[in-house]
Every structure is written in structure tokens, then in C-alpha cells.
Structure 1
Amino acid sequence: MQKQYQASDFGRVAVLLGGDSAEREVSLRSGTAVLNALHRMGVDAIAFDPAHRQIVDLIEEGIDRAVIMLHGRGGEDGSMQGALQLLNIPFTGSGVLGSALAMDKIHSKQIWESLGLPTAKYQIVDKTSFEAGSCSVIMKKLGNKVMVKPAREGSSIGMAKVTSAKQLETAIHAAFHYDDQVLLEQFIDGQEYTVALLQGKALPSIRMSTPHTFYDYAAKYQDNTTEYFCPSGLSAEDETCLAELSSKAFHALSGSGWGRIDVMRDEASGTFFLLESNTVPGMTEKSLVPKAAAVAGIDFDTLSLTILGTSMAQG
């Protein structure tokens, strides 16, 4: 059983939010929501935006621990975790290694594949060696429906679904604006699920349904057309199977504290395929972790305090 912490146990807390990644706006919303929740729970917490302040200012502020609500590069990729570690400031969620591995979709897939965990067929393209003439061969190899993903971006930024060699070429060049490496992944026809993990426990799965081509940035944060089902409609056996798979996938990447695993279920075979791991999931009004926590009987304020509690494992 996890220890229950009181607000006074944490000392002075900084909620790191904003930053300068492509996910800045979402981070500001997540961080503000968590900051307000911690205030309601009686925690002495301040907002801290690394885009506007030097990280060493945390020492001058007398910060005892940090809640990382920075999405994407600079906050979710291990660099901020490393900086806080050097400053001897405990922080929430995964450490340097777990954050870096989960942020890199290519390395995530390679680790899962090496452990025999199910993930879709894929190919890697590099900006320095990509040849447009290879697109037809790639499409055939990956089944003529392909997801194009920058290797190290979140919130579906730079992603595209393509069904022709010409579309693939265009999407790869667009993805190169975000990263020098791009992951090309066989598209899985079926339902998309996500499983939140909190202090070693899998929360109820969520099934997402959107009229968009896929669950993209607009479907996640801007539109009201996306539907969320939690409970997701899986049988008890499948729910247990998905929870176990998600836990294995998260820990395989050295994830800890809290996070989220995204999965597709192939309609034809019923097989779950791992998509990616998120070590700093969104905490906005549309975000998935709070939805799953609510079904598990955990309100937003308690969830925020529990996330803060993951920092106690580091001191």
C-alpha cells in the first residue's frame, strides 16, 4: 500500500510549466491546473517557467521538490530531470534514463521488440540519407497504410497518416522540420486505448473515438468531437491483459512514478500493439490520466497530490 502524504510533508514546491517546446501551450494548461489543485490541497507551491527563468533560481526560491509539468523536449526527455538531479532537487515521475527512452519513439520500439512485446512493423528514416525514391518500397513493406512520426515529439505534433508513396514523401519532409529522424510505422486498423499508470498501479483503460483521420493534436486538445469511453468496454480478461502489457512496457523503458501507455488493438486479430510511452502526460481538462483516475475514484486534487508524492522516492 502506498504511503499517504500530507501537504506539509513536501515543503516548498515548484510546478515547472511552459518551457520552450512545441507543447508549451498544453504544458501551461497542465501546470496551471496542477498548481491550483496543490493550492487547494494546502501545498506551498509556486509556478516556475524555465523559458523565463534560470533553473538555478529554484535554489534561491528555496524549493524542496519539483513537479514536472513540462511536455516534450526540455522537460520530458531527461534533460530537466538531469538538471534537477544535479541541483539535488527531487522531482516527480521518471528519472533521466526513463524519460529519455520514452521520449524517443524509435528506441522505445527497439526495446519493446527486443523483449518480445507487441509493436507494429516499422522503418526508420534519417534526414541525412533519406531518398524519395524509396517511398514506394516502404509503403509496400509496411502495408500501404503508414503513420509518420517525428522520433522525439509528443501530442501528435508532426504526425501524419498516409496511403500513397507521394503522401509519404511529403509527410516525411514535414516531419523532418521537427526531428532529424522519423519513425514510419504500419498503421493498425482498430480501436485506440490508453492506460494510465500511477504509483505502480494501472488505472482503468480509456478507449478513444474520433472522426479525425487519427487521434491528432486537434482531437486531443481543440475539438469537442472526440469521445472517451472509460470503462473502455473491454472484457475483464482483456482489461487485465492490457493493464499487464502496459505495466511491462512502462517498466521496460525504466518508467517510474506515473505515466501513460498508448496502444492500438488490431481489429482482425484482437492483438494489442504498443504505440508509445508518456512520462509527463497531459493534465488539462481534456487529458486522459484525470479521466481514468476519476473512474478509479481519485479526484483531480488527490491525483495531483499523488503525482507530487512520486517525488518522495527520490528523497
Structure 2
Amino acid sequence: MKLNDNKKFDVVFNLIHGGFGEDGVVHAFLDMLAIPYVGSNHFASSLAMHKATCKKIWADSILNVPKAHLISSVKEISSLDALFFPCIVKPANEGSSNGITKVVDRDGLIEAVLKALEYDHQVLIEQFIAGTELTVAVIDHEAMTPIEIFPATEIYDYHAKYVAEDTQFFVHQKVLIAVNLMSFVSKHYWPIK
């Protein structure tokens, strides 16, 4: 894309998925050019994309979050005071579940960290919490209907999201669960300005 003084934009609807498109880089570029765009500002986008930073914000405010370690190399594994298994190993600043691995014991940890380091220079080793996988969109401070995700594999990784044809999605009809979840999200979600 080449910008010049003869072009004027009413608004940009950013559809770039993943790095640069979701991590605040495109947003900051548009801010510098004073071009309006749809979505969160660059600061909120960068905070939300960096998993360790986002976890800290939530933990410092209202949510119990899984235990985690942030590392930058395989060498740091030996210095961690407590490891928890099973765990999820993932790049700290990557989307679409790229580079994510579920690790059940110490033997798989190095390989999982190396895989995550292919996507980012920081890796989050996070306590695995078994449970229901839900996604809830929030639009103008209002939670939409929860959608339950059933991957055919053990974790909802890149393959389950974009390649597999056997991942299932169900709109919740269980009113009590939906109402409680929507109420919680609406009460505790806030946009970072």
C-alpha cells in the first residue's frame, strides 16, 4: 500500500489478522497519519496481544489467572522455581494459537519452548486449566451470546481453528450459564483507553 497526499481515507476497517494487524502496529501507524480506524487503539491492542502483560493486568484487577512463567530461552527453564504439569507453552506475543503446545511432563518442555520461540522471543509457560472452552464477543460494553468450542484434538490450536473440519461450535442455549457469563463479562470488561 502506498500512501500519498492525494488520497484521503474516511475510515480504515483493519482486517489484517495476526502480528502487525492485531498488535497495535497498524493502529499506531494510522494514528501517526491521523487516519481514523475501526477497533481498539494501538495501546489497548498491544496490551491485549501480549499474553503475559494482559494476564498481569487482569490478575492485578479482578481475575484469578493460571500460574505462569515468562522466559526468553531454554536455558531459563532450569532456573524456574516451580513448574506445573500439565502446562501450556505458547509464544507471549502471537495470535491464532500459533506455536502452542500442551506439555504433560518435563520431558516435553524444551521442545515446546523451542517451538514457541520460532514465533516470538518470549514464551509463556502457563498452568493448564481443564474446562469448557468458550468465546464471548463484547461490543460496546455488551457481551454477546457465548459460543462453546469443541476441538477434535486435545487443545484448540492453530490447526483446530483454521484447518480441521471437525472442530464444532455451539451457541449456548443453557440460559443460566450464558446469563451468568454474560453478566460477568459485561460487569468486568472495560476498554483500555
The normalised TM-score by structure 2 is 0.90
Q: Which residue of 1 aligns with 2:182?
A: 243
Change (3 A) 1:217 1:246: same
Change (3 A) 1:132 1:85: closer
Q: Is contact 2:141-2:189 (8 Å) kept? A: no
Q: 1:217 aligns with which of 123, 147, 158?
A: 158
Query: Is 1:72 matched with 2:10?
Result: no
Q: How does 1:89-108 map to 2 (within 5 A)?
A: 89-108=35-54
Change (3 A) 1:246 1:71: farther
The gaps in structure 2 that reach 5 residues or longer are none
Q: Is contact 1:112-1:249 (8 Å) kept? A: no
Point out which structure has higher relative CO (alpha carbons under 8 A, 6+ apart): 1
Report the Cα distance in structure 2 between the residues aligned to 1:230 and 1:102, rounded to whole angstroms.
Answer: 25
Q: Which residue of 1 aligns with 2:9?
A: 63
Query: Is 1:131 matched with 2:76?
Result: yes
> Displacement, 1:215?
0.6
Change (3 A) 1:86 1:133: closer
Deviation per residue, 1:93-148 (Å, 9 max, x gap) = 10011101001000000000000312211111123x8334357x643xx2x11001
> Displacement, 1:85?
1.1
> Displacement, 1:250?
4.3
Percentage identity across paired residues of the two chains: 34
Report the Cα distance in structure 1 between the residues aligned to 2:186 and 2:75, rounded to whole angstroms.
Answer: 35
Q: Which residue of 1 aligns with 2:145?
A: 204
Report the Cα distance in structure 1 between the residues aligned to 2:31 and 2:100, rounded to whole angstroms.
Answer: 32
Report the Cα distance in structure 2 between the residues aligned to 1:107 and 1:75, rounded to whole angstroms.
Answer: 18
Q: Which residue of 1 aligns with 2:34?
A: 88
> Displacement, 1:239?
1.9
Report the Cα distance in structure 1 between the residues aligned to 2:60 and 2:92, rounded to whole angstroms.
Answer: 18
Q: 1:227 aligns with which of 165, 168, 171?
A: 168
Q: In structure 2, give the amino acid aligned to 1:79.
A: V
Report the Cα distance in structure 2 between the residues aligned to 1:170 and 1:119, rounded to whole angstroms.
Answer: 25
Q: Which residue of 1 aligns with 2:98?
A: 157
Query: Is 1:254 matched with 2:182?
Result: no
Report the Cα distance in structure 1 between the residues aligned to 2:75 and 2:189, rounded to whole angstroms.
Answer: 31
Q: In structure 1, give the amino acid aligned to 2:41.
A: G
> Displacement, 1:79?
1.4
Deviation per residue, 1:245-273 (Å, 9 max, x gap) = 3345642x617xxxxxxxxxxxxxxxxxx
Report the Cα distance in structure 2 between the residues aligned to 1:104 and 1:234, rounded to whole angstroms.
Answer: 32
Q: In structure 2, give the amino acid aligned to 1:242.
A: L
> Displacement, 1:160?
0.5
> Displacement, 1:63?
1.8
The residue matched to 1:148 in structure 2 has which SS? strand
Instruction: Give me the CA root mean square deviation.
Output: 2.1
> Displacement, 1:82?
1.1
Q: Is contact 1:117-1:249 (8 Å) kept? A: no
Change (3 A) 1:116 1:244: same
Change (3 A) 1:180 1:250: farther
Q: Which residue of 1 aligns with 2:57?
A: 111
Q: Is contact 2:62-2:188 (8 Å) kept? A: no
The normalised TM-score by structure 1 is 0.57
Change (3 A) 1:60 1:157: farther
